[in-house]
Amino acid sequence: MNPLRLVVQPQHCIGCRACELACAFTHGAEGQPGASRCRTLTVGKDEYVPVLCLQCDHAACVQSCPTGAISQDPVTKIVHVDQEVCVRCMACTVACPFGNMHFDPNGQFVHKCDLCAGHGDYPRCAMFCPTRCLSVERMEPVS
């Protein structure tokens, strides 16, 4: 299957934050909601932008990690943090030019959007988005 891509169209965002809730509940543990990997920002009057990881190729987070804990899956193109390997030096949280590396101060771990890999493998934020703001499309096959 071709890799998924999240498409964000802020013009449709109504600031309902359903995406944040969906994300937090999906990635929580033992029924507790976790911090959302998706953040909706208010940029003007009634103007909202959900900011999520773009799963960049040659990502800054990957490059900045001194232990090689962050990598991009060659097939799914998802940039993933291996929590076992991570030493929490926080370099990636600063390095991401889009501010999409989050740190959970309670659980003491770095997290980011993984397109719900392992959680139904389909982005929940998009599933719960009441408008067309967040949608999913399949990329062209990797050559």
Partner 1 sequence: MEQTGPSTFYMTINGRRVQASAGEYVLDVTRRNGIHVPTLCHHPAVEPFGSCRLCMVEVTKEAWKGWKGLMTACLYPAADGLVIETDSESVHRVRRNVLDLLLARCPDSGVIQKLAAEYGVTRTTFTPRENPDLCILCGLCTRVCETAATAAITTAMRGHERVVGTPWGGPPPDCIGCLACAHVCPTGHITFEEHGLTRSIWGREFELERCADCGKPLPITRDQAAFLCRRQEMDPSYFSRCADCQRKMVAERMGRMARWQTLGLAQEPAERGKEVAR
Chain contacts with partner 1 (rule: CB under 8 A)? 8-11, 39, 41, 43-44, 47, 49, 51, 60, 63-69, 82, 84-91, 93-103, 108
* Cα–Cα dist 3/78, whole Å: 8
The residue (of 61 and 116) whose beta carbon lies closer to partner 1 is: 61
Cβ 77 vs Cβ 33: under 8 Å: no
Q: How far is the CB of 60 from partner 1 (least distance, A)?
A: 6
The residue (of 2 and 82) whose beta carbon lies closer to partner 1 is: 82
- The structure tokens listed for 105 are 């101060």
The CB-based long-range contact list for 123-127 (8 Å cut-off, 24+ gap) reads: 123/4, 123/6, 124/22, 124/23, 124/25, 124/26, 125/6, 125/18, 125/19, 125/20, 125/22, 125/23, 125/38, 125/50, 125/52, 126/6, 126/19, 127/22
Q: How far is the CB of 116 from partner 1 (least distance, A)?
A: 20
The residue (of 99 and 122) whose beta carbon lies closer to partner 1 is: 99
Q: How far is the CB of 101 from partner 1 (least distance, A)?
A: 7
The residue (of 59 and 116) whose beta carbon lies closer to partner 1 is: 59
Q: How far is the CB of 46 from partner 1 (least distance, A)?
A: 11
